[in-house]
Amino acid sequence: MPVAFATLLQTVINGLLVGGVYGISALGLTLVWGIMDIVNIAHGELMLLGAFACYFLFVGYGVTPVVSAALVVPLGMATGLFPYRTVIRRVVGRPALASLLLTFGVSLFLNNSMLNLWSPTIRSVGWFPGSLALGPALIPGTRLVAFAVAVLAAVLLYLFLSRTYSGRAIRAIMQDPEAAAAMGVNTRAILLLAFGLGTAFAFLAGSLLATVRPFAPQFAVSYAIIAFVIVVAGGLGNPMGALLGGLLIGLIESFTGTFWSQAYTPVVVSLLLVTFLLVRPTGLFRGARA
């Protein structure tokens, strides 16, 4: 089998597997942005908190990343409730600049706290469950497991949004908050739930990314940029679009790193953000709604 085909297949596989995790990170952001109209600049730091939780559970207690993924979801939910009740709820419904400045302050606080508590040392979760051969390509077990957990989480979120009252209430507020309130939806409780879910998915994405690549507090900006690009590409408030956008960005990042240079992947991702905002601000997958 030609070497070029093997390289291409490996590149596609790597991009799709990482892109699935990226999609989960964007799900958390698009829930908060779409339902509250709040641009959460601290999203990257929330992902890193999930990564550190996975790391310390693995190193300190031998908890496998699969179990960690289940543990960080309620941890992220609980973590999200505190900033919402104390500060975030105060800017709901206010001009976008207010939420931008507020979440920027939260981002600085969290990032500096992590730097002081855990230092800028680059860490990784050394968990290796083997690999799977697919023709000439090799699928790392860590990426495959992370992708499987991400898909399961996406399916559970889809079922929640489509089959439960709270999920349908979230979708109703995304479409028309005033009409939802008029129909008796408790908007305060639903906004609190949505922010908690968004934080939980940020924690989950961070814990999964910790198993496939190194991380450190200073990586928060790059995490946030990727999530923002995916949300813009997938369409604001569009969970299915976030997943598809994650796969797309994962593929683009993989192809850039393989056939050009890994050092240019942040440049390409940042350029994509500008391009989508200028050319297709409503997203590529606007019609692919959950």
Summarised one tens digit per residue, pLDDT across range 226-275 is: 999 998 888 777 778 888 889 999 999 999 988 888 888 888 888 888 88
For residue 9, what are its two tokens?
């297949």
Measuring CA to CA, how many Å separate 34 from each of 15, 267, 288? 26, 26, 15
Q: Is residue 274 part of a domain?
A: yes
Query: Using an 8 Å Cβ cutoff, are 231 and 30 in contact?
Result: yes
Q: Rounded to the nearest 10 degrees, how much is the dihedral formed by the CA atoms of 274, 218, 23, 212?
A: 130
Q: What's the angle, vertex CA 277, arms to CA 276 and CA 281, rounded to 5? A: 85
Instruction: Find, among 238, 234, 194, 241, the residue nearest to 36 by Cα.
Output: 194
Q: Is residue 85 part of a domain?
A: yes
Give yes or no for residue 17 having a pLDDT over 80.
Answer: yes
- Please give the Cα distance from 242 to 230 (Å, whole number): 6
- Please give the Cα distance from 206 to 192 (Å, whole number): 21
Confidence of residue 75 (pLDDT cuts 50, 70, 90): very high
What is the pTM assigned to this prediction? 0.92
Q: Is residue 194 part of a domain?
A: yes
Q: Is residue 285 part of a domain?
A: no
**Which runs of consecutive H residues, i.e. helices, occur in the chain?**
3-36, 43-61, 65-86, 96-118, 141-163, 165-175, 177-182, 187-212, 220-234, 239-259, 265-279
Tell the burial category of 203 from Cβ atoms under 10 Å away from its Cβ (0-12, 13-18, 19+): buried
The residue among 37 and 246 whose pLDDT is bigger is 246
Task: Give me the chain's average pLDDT, please.
Answer: 89
Quote the pLDDT of residue 159: 92
The residue among 177 and 70 whose pLDDT is bigger is 70
Q: Using the structure block, give the residue that is written with the tokens 């997943």.
A: 243
Quote the pLDDT of residue 286: 59
Tell me the mean pLDDT in the region 30-40.
Answer: 84
Q: Which domain holds residue 89?
A: 3-122+140-279
Give yes or no for residue 96 having a pLDDT over 90.
Answer: no
Quote the pLDDT of residue 94: 84
For residue 68, what are its two tokens?
């960690």
Give yes or no for residue 281 having a pLDDT over 80.
Answer: no
Q: Is residue 63 part of a domain?
A: yes
Quote the pLDDT of residue 3: 61
Q: Is residue 289 part of a domain?
A: no
The total domain count for the chain is 1
Quote the pLDDT of residue 2: 65
Query: Using an 8 Å Cβ cutoff, are 188 and 84 in contact?
Result: no
Q: Is residue 34 part of a domain?
A: yes
Query: Using an 8 Å Cβ cutoff, are 169 and 180 in contact?
Result: yes
Give yes or no for residue 29 having a pLDDT over 60.
Answer: yes
Confidence of residue 285 (pLDDT cuts 50, 70, 90): low
Tell me the mean pLDDT in the region 281-290.
Answer: 62
SS3 call for 132: strand
The residue among 42 and 279 whose pLDDT is bigger is 42
Instruction: Find, among 98, 96, 17, 48, the residue nearest to 222 by Cα.
Output: 48
Share of the chain above pLDDT 90, in %: 52
The string of pLDDT tens digits covering residues 125-165 is 989 888 888 877 888 899 999 999 999 999 999 899 889 99
Q: Is residue 130 part of a domain?
A: no
